[in-house]
A and B are shown apart, each in its own frame.
Chain A
């Protein structure tokens, strides 16, 4: 096993898939000469040339559309958005073109494209640049959505996304790029649609993904000290959702807390709660609670921003409520 940063794990994934299949190419703002705003594409221009690592103008709708067209005609583009905040300008191509084409063409036209980039809040980037768009894309039939929380999952899921024949949204995290973790050697693929148990436990299921995996594990550690054993499930893929793993866990623990970075109303957690209450109703000993970002545009003020994000203390508090140990 090699210890890599999340950033380098993504870089490996791109490099390996571009080596493996010459239809794969990368395009986006500053991905070539500047080697990516977050250096995910470091060294790729040098390795694969300007025809396969394409710097675009600051025109998200335009290059997203070029990507969709390229995918429809047989290439396998990876489109990088500098952040998902800017992808709002391109969402028509993602939702109306990429997601719909297979269905509207009666199965004749596939769109094997990956849209990727960092989402969610970083530090003091204020309301317009601190948004978690998981539920926006996970809402759309025709898209797949993955949100890895570790370097190994980032590499394995990006490779699986590039090989998938459907449009796949890869939600990365600016605050995750420097996080280190072990990545299996050799070919490492993580199947889309499979959640992962990050910690085994018996008293409560903590559901998390992407940036909330770390605080969930930290909370689980703290709870273990108090004799509460948490089963930590990392969703990894948001669409399609791995309901089976969630239900299997809740049937054992009887209690559940769902953590996400996004806003509470109509969020990812709302869907998780819906699946669990329907599939595991008779196994619930407490209402399922959610820990989410605050229901406000992200404040710029440092203290306010901190209190608007999910953190281990809030997760612990929710677990104490559902286990009746508050």
Chain B
């Protein structure tokens, strides 16, 4: 008498689980209560135990795959029992004690390890159906908006038309191309849960902000020396910031990333989006591989891109596909501001003006050149400490610009 092994809801909010490791092999004998596999839920790694006895006849889901709660994961049965009915159709197998021992009714076909995304009524965290007005459901379908990522403002959390106007800003933008080498890292369950909950609570991109106050005395001195060199381009503070950010991003790959809904894409090179104000708005030309370019090359390239941006002479591949943004309003005398993230990038550094301010240094008050930088982080990708470590590196490198060549 065969018993189905299904993905069980191992936490109250679990909707799917990743089978990390099988602890039994096919053919191993199994007693009720034996641990069959380890499963990563949205909260922790849990044990999936046998609900029947015999031998583990079939592992339907290979280690590493993610399946929805209720999906057929494996089959326990007698060594010579015919289990084809169970394995062939996960939906209909009513073999033996399965119905009695597994609380979840229908199992998804085992061949579909990833959860369906777009159209199905999306389950909310509390296991209830997401409520969506017919109009909002149609618009979401047409514009490819994932309703699970939309906060409903109607009665009982119903998603209505106006909620999609907010969501569309972040969600429906097509992924731009990039030339930088990258690696797609599958989302862990906890990362998915953080992402979903933050989006539900704040908006399409859950921003948070980190500010650092940087001493720019040494950077100013270096800049003066560099600008005294003959036939070089004039180096601005912003050029130095760009170079430092590029170096820091390579050292903190976890801030040099795109949110991709089903994974986070971490980049090996820093393609910096540089915000340039133009007559009718703002455009972000990209310095590709800024970490591999010299300060001098960056200075030349930024000027060229900015001039052509103002003349509307940029090609689309020159202003899309950055991995991180830098926006500088220092030339307007702005000391500190927060920028809005340029999706799918996960971070942006807002750079203020270099100003002389009294600061306490070693117990005395001194007038120093200071600059405030504020990082906007997409909390789905970057956590507080992650961003803080990156910002710490940026600050240290700016305060000791020799580190650029280190």
Contact = CB atoms under 8 A, between A and B. Distances in A.
B156 to A, nearest CB: 12
B135 A283 contact: yes
B154 A286 contact: yes
Contacts of A281: 134
A45 B138 CA distance: 61
Contacts of A254: 135, 161
Interface in B150-170: 153-154, 160-162
B219 interface: no
Nearest to B161: A285
A285 B136 CA distance: 7
Interface string B126-142: 00000001111110000
Contacts of B154: 286, 324
Contacts of B161: 254, 285
B134 A282 contact: yes
Contacts of A283: 134-135, 138
A311 to B, nearest CB: 24
A102 interface: no
A95 interface: no
A269 B154 CA distance: 24
Interface in A134-189: none
A286 B162 CA distance: 12
A284 interface: yes
Contacts of B153: 324
Interface residues on A, range: under 10
B294 to A, nearest CB: 56
Interface in A273-287: 281-286
B14 to A, nearest CB: 32
Contacts of B135: 254, 282-285
Nearest to B154: A324
A324 B134 CA distance: 15
- Report which residue of A254, A284, A285, A324 has the largest number of chain B beta carbons within 10 angstroms of its beta carbon: A285
Contacts of B136: 285
Contacts of B160: 285-286, 324
B150 to A, nearest CB: 14
B95 to A, nearest CB: 41
A291 to B, nearest CB: 18
A282 B137 CA distance: 8
Contacts of B137: 282
Contacts of B138: 282-283
Contacts of B162: 324
Contacts of A286: 133, 154, 160
A303 to B, nearest CB: 31
Interface in A258-303: 281-286
Contacts of A285: 133-136, 160-161
A175 to B, nearest CB: 35
A285 B158 CA distance: 10
Interface in A309-326: 324
A229 to B, nearest CB: 15
Interface of B: 133-138, 153-154, 160-162
Interface of A: 254, 281-286, 324
Given A254-B161, A282-B135, A283-B138, 7 more contacts: A281-B134, A282-B137, A284-B135, A285-B134, A285-B161, A286-B133, A286-B160
14 contacts: A254-B161, A281-B134, A282-B134, A282-B138, A283-B134, A283-B135, A283-B138, A284-B133, A284-B135, A285-B133, A285-B135, A285-B136, A286-B133, A324-B153
* Chain A to chain B: the 3 pairs with minimum beta-carbon distance, closest first: A285-B135, A282-B138, A285-B133
